[in-house]
Amino acid sequence: MVRDAATDIVAYWTAAAPQVFDGKLRPLRGGLYSVDPGAAATGQSVPCLPDPSTVAGDVFYCPTADAIVYDRTYLARLAEQYSNLDVALTLAHEFGHALQGRFPTGGTKSITEETQADCYAGTWAAWAAGGNAAHVAFRAADLDRTLGDYVWEMGDPVGTDPNHRDAHGSVFDRVSALQEGFLDGPGSCATDFPDSRPFVSMAFTATSEVGKGNLAFAGAVSQGAMLLQQFWTTQFANAGKTFTAPVVAVQPAECARTLLIALCPDGHTIGLGPVAPLSTNHDRFGDFSTVTALGVGYAEYVQGQGGLASGPAARICSTGAFSASLFSRSPAVLSPGDLDEAVRFLLLAGADNPVVDTGGLTAWDRLDAFRTGVLDGLTRCA
C-alpha cells in the first residue's frame, strides 16, 4: 500500500514540479523507511531518531536523510479505522515537506509548513481522483472516508498556540488547507502559505482556560440566538432592509417537526427539542456545535425572508460567515477549538442526521461550504 501510494505521489510531482516550481523534482535520497516500534531492535539505525521506538504513532519527513520515516503499525491502524486512502494522503502530506526542502515557497513557521503540506496533499488527491493514478483508486466519493482521519486525529490539541514551534494547525486550519489544494491546485499551495496567512488556532487565555470556554446547553442556545439575531440584523441593514427576527424556543407547543432544530409550521418560530438528544450532541461535540446547528436552522428562516440564497449549502456557508464575524468581537466570543467543534458536527451531519437539515450534501461539501463562509464571507454563499 505504501509502495503503491509513494509511486503515484512521485509520478504526480515529477510531472507537476516543472510547471509549479519551474524546477525538476529530485528523488528522495533516503527513500521510505518502515519501522515497527514494538519489534525494532535496540540500537537499530533510524533516520533522525536516536531510538526507533520513538516513531510510535508517527510519520515524518527527515530532512537530513531526505527520507520519509513511518510507523507501519500506525499506518495499518489508519487503513483499518478509516481507509487505505488515509495512508496515501498521510504520505502525500509528508512528501509535501520534501517539496518544501526542494522548492521553498512558503513561510517558515511550523503551522505554515504543516498546512502547506496539507495543501500539497490535497492537490495530489485531486489528481488521483481524476483517474490519473496508476495504483491508487481515489474517487471523489472516497473523500468523505478520508476526512475522518483529518478531523479526528490530525488537529492540534485545543488551545495550542499557533506560534508554537511544533504547531500543525487546528482541525479547521488543516481541513481548509487540504480542500484548498484539492479545489484550487498546486499553484495556490505554492503562493498562498506565507507566515502572514491567517489561522483560526488560538491559545487559551486565563479566562478561556476556565471550563475550556464551554457553555452549558441552555447558555449556548440563548447566546447563539442573540448573536445570530445581531448578525442577521446587520446583514439586512447593510442591504437597506429590516430584519424581523424569529422566535427561538426550546420544545415549543404546537410545533410539529421531524428534526431537532427546524422551522415550525407558523413560519416565525425555530423550535428545538426534545432536549435530551440535543444535550447529548452538545456534550459530545462542544458548545459551538450547538450554536452551529442552530445557525443552520436559523438560516432556513432567513432564506424565507429573502436574505439568503436557497439550498442547504447556502445555509451552512452563512453559518460559517456568522462564525467568522465572532472573531473580531471584544470581549471574545469564540473560544479555542470552537470552529473544530463545528467541523466535527458537520462531518457527521449527513442527510439522515436527526438534528438539522443539511440536504443531501456530502461531508466534503458540507465542510467546504462552511470553510467558504468563514474565509470568504457571506457574499460567496450565493
Pairing mode, strands 269-272 and 261-263: antiparallel
DSSP designation for 195: T
User: Where do runs of H (alpha helix) occur along the chain?
Assistant: 2-20, 72-81, 84-102, 110-129, 143-149, 171-184, 186-191, 217-238, 275-285, 287-304, 312-325, 338-348, 363-376
**Who wins on pLDDT, 343 or 42?**
343
Residue 267: the pLDDT is: 93
Residue 40 binned pLDDT confidence (cut-offs 50, 70, 90): low
Is 142 domain-assigned? yes
User: For residue 316, what are the domain limits?
Assistant: 216-381
Q: Do 349 and 258 have their domain in common?
A: yes
211 within domain boundaries: no
pLDDT digits (tens, 9 = 90+) for 169-183: 999 999 999 999 999
Any domain includes 199: no
Residue 63 is assigned to a structural domain of this protein: yes
Residues 11 and 143 in one domain: yes
Let me know if residue 340 belongs to a domain: yes
207 assigned to some structural domain: no
Q: Check whether residue 288 and residue 330 sit in a common domain.
A: yes
More confident residue, 195 or 51: 195
Res. 321: pLDDT tops 70: yes
- Out of 157, 191, 225, a domain closes at 191
Residues 164, 224: one domain? no
List C-alpha distances in Å: 326 to 53, 227, 231: 44, 9, 9
pLDDT, tens only, 134-143: 999 888 788 8
SS3 state of residue 275: helix
Closest by alpha carbon to 101, among 134, 137, 65?
65
Beta strands in the chain (DSSP E): 31-35, 59-62, 67-71, 247-250, 261-263, 269-272
CA distance 112 to 164: 11
Total structural domains in the chain? Answer: 2
Q: What is the pLDDT at residue 1?
A: 93
Dihedral, CA of residue 234, residue 236, residue 239 and residue 241, to nearest 10: -130
> Is 60 exceeded by the pLDDT of residue 208?
no
140 DSSP 8-state letter: G
The answer to whether the CB of 226 falls within 8 A of the CB of 291 is no
**What mean pLDDT comes out for the span 70-88?**
93
Report cis status (omega within 30 of 0) of the bond before 27: no
Phi, then psi, of 35 in degrees rounded to 5:
-135, 135
| Helix (H/G/I), strand (E/B), else coil: 59 | strand
> Are 367 and 232 found together in one domain?
yes
329 has pLDDT over 90: no
Instruction: Please give the Cα distance from 293 to 18 (Å, whole number).
Output: 45
d(CA 382, CA 236): 15
Asked, for residue 83, whether it belongs to a domain, the answer is yes
pLDDT for 358-367, tens place per residue?
Answer: 999 999 999 9
Is residue 21 located within the same domain as residue 124? yes
Region 41-53: mean pLDDT is 81
Q: In terms of domains, do 224 and 150 share one? A: no
